[in-house]
């Protein structure tokens, strides 16, 4: 079916908040092309499990689309309307399975050489939307912190090469109680400037003690969930006829309860499951988990502070073996993990800078237990170096 045939009752399987929102805007949705609507529904169907920043953005987007005149809406949708779909896509249950539809649409765009047109349409739409409904500025300038290299005694290669041109490099940082100082700084900010899901601590290993006002995610503490997921993947993969695309569909449908997860915070539980089921490598490599969780936290929750600590990941083994549930503790690769985390820290900074207020935001990356760090901020001179003795508190004071 096409969006023009949409009826309010077709959203009956949606969770309550999503259902109400979809029904409120069904008339608007009817006026939009098939190459666009399922992408919007993919977000809408998750409304009940979204962070406050995402909810606000989605509500504003729908409201904006509803307010557009018919002619303006046509103009906004011109790029999407020119994309040709297929009868197979039209017959797909894109109302109830919008994410799966988007995957199939993506394959169709590649195969029909329409990917560039789709990118152009999406970029144009995003530009118009940002101009019409500017994203909300953060309550305070954002601060990102990356702690890398846990478990590495010495490393002679240069670190932070991608971050250093954007800030100041310090080579004599006193590492004593460094992580505690950073966690205290996060807690202090969280107390001063409250707000749900605005202050995050993601740890690729066992987390340090942190204040309960902080939203915490830990790879180590998710071990039972990861094992349940690997068990699930393993049993699915051994079924006859199972292929990578079908596996992706099965994983996309998993919910926290399917993996034995009980949590008083269904939004955070759903976030963690999505990191594990939608991220590549997040199920088996702690460094991939920390980087992807940080990316998704920034993109979705738009935190004002995010501390990410990368921990050693397991050493590479055959993929089939890593994906098999195993009770044994894996052998670790601290140096390889340091290289992963160095790049991960750079990606955290890039992803933070994509958010509003990037020109005022700050970033600190530190080689845990060692003397080197990079500090980036609007008041920090770019591409500079300092060999003066410094403490972690001093570094933080220069960007707060």
- Using CB under 8 A, which of the segments 13-21, 113-121, 163-171, 250-258 binds other proteins? 113-121
* Min CB(340)–other proteins separation in Å: 5
For 68, 75, 171, the CA distances from 71, given in Å and listed in that order, are 8, 6, 59
346 binds other proteins per the rule CB under 8 A = yes
Question: Site for other proteins (CB under 8 A): how many residues?
Answer: 47
240 binds other proteins per the rule CB under 8 A = no
What track of x and - describes contact with other proteins for positions 252 through 291 (by CB under 8 A)? Answer: ---------------------------xxxx-xx-xx--x
Q: Single out the residue of 119, 191, 255, 382 in contact with other proteins (rule: CB under 8 A).
A: 119
Task: Please report which residue ranges of 112-155 form alpha helices under DSSP H.
Answer: 115-132
Q: Single out the residue of 243, 262, 329, 379 in contact with other proteins (rule: CB under 8 A).
A: 243
| Residue whose pair of structure tokens reads 């204040």 in the numeric block | 211
Considering only residues 53 through 112, tell me which ones interact with other proteins, judged by CB under 8 A.
Answer: 107, 110-112
Contact 119, 282 (CB under 8 A): no
For 92, 161, 212, 254, the CA distances from 96, given in Å and listed in that order, are 9, 46, 36, 15
- Could you tell me whether strands 373-376 and 362-367 are parallel, antiparallel, or unpaired per DSSP bridges? antiparallel
Q: With respect to other proteins, which residue has the nearer C-beta, 68 or 237? A: 237
Give the span between the Cα atoms of 246 and 177, in whole angstroms: 47
Considering only residues 299 through 328, tell me which ones interact with other proteins, judged by CB under 8 A.
Answer: 313, 316-321, 323
| DSSP H or E stretch at residue 147 | strand 143-148
- Could you tell me whether strands 173-174 and 390-391 are parallel, antiparallel, or unpaired per DSSP bridges? parallel
153 binds other proteins per the rule CB under 8 A = no
Q: With respect to other proteins, which residue has the nearer C-beta, 13 or 107? A: 107
238 binds other proteins per the rule CB under 8 A = yes
Please provide the DSSP assignment of 301-349 as one string.
H--SEEEEE--PPBPP--HHHHTS---SPPPB-HHHHHHHHHHHHHHHH
* Min CB(211)–other proteins separation in Å: 29
Residue 38's nearest CA partner among 91, 85, 84, 100 is 100
Using CB under 8 A, list all residues that contact other proteins. Answer: 107, 110-113, 115-116, 119, 161, 237-238, 243-245, 279-282, 284-285, 287-288, 291-292, 295, 313, 316-321, 323, 333, 335-340, 342-344, 346-347, 350, 354
């Amino acid at each position: 079916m096409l969006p023009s045939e949409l009826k309010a009752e077709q959203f009956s399987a949606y969770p309550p908040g999503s259902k109400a929102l979809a029904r409120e805007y069904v008339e608007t949705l009817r006026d939009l092309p098939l190459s666009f609507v399922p992408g919007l529904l993919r977000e809408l169907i998750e409304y009940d499990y979204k962070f406050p920043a995402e909810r606000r953005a989605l509500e504003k987007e729908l409201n904006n689309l509803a307010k557009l005149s018919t002619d303006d809406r046509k103009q906004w949708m011109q790029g999407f309307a020119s994309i040709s779909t297929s009868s197979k896509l039209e017959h797909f249950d894109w109302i109830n399975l919008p994410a799966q539809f988007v995957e199939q649409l993506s394959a169709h765009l590649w195969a029909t050489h329409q990917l560039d047109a789709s990118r152009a349409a999406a970029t144009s739409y995003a530009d118009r939307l940002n101009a019409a409904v500017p994203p909300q500025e953060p309550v305070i300038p954002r601060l990102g912190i990356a702690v890398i290299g846990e478990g590495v005694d010495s490393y002679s290669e240069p670190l932070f090469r991608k971050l250093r041109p954007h800030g100041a490099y310090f080579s004599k940082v006193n590492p004593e109680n460094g992580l505690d100082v950073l966690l205290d700084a996060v807690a202090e900010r969280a107390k001063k400037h409250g707000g749900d899901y605005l202050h995050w601590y993601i740890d690729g290993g066992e987390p340090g003690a942190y204040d309960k006002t902080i939203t915490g995610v830990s790879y180590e503490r998710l071990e039972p969930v990861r094992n349940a997921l690997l068990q699930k993947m393993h049993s699915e993969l051994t079924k006859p006829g199972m292929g990578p695309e079908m596996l992706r569909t099965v994983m996309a449908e998993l919910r926290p309860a399917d993996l034995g997860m009980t949590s008083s915070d269904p939004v955070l539980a759903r976030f963690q499951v999505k990191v594990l089921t939608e991220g590549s490598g997040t199920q088996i490599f702690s460094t991939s988990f920390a980087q992807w969780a940080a990316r998704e936290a920034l993109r979705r929750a738009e935190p004002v502070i995010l501390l990410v600590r990368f921990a050693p990941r397991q050493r590479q083994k055959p993929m089939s073996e890593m994906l098999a549930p195993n009770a044994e503790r894996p052998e670790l690769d601290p140096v390889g993990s340091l290289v992963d985390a160095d790049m991960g820290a750079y990606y955290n900074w890039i992803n933070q800078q994509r958010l509003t207020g990037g020109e005022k935001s700050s970033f600190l990356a530190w080689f845990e237990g060692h003397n080197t760090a990079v500090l980036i901020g609007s008041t920090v001179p770019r591409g500079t170096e300092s060999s003066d003795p410094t403490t972690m508190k001093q570094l933080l004071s220069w960007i707060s």
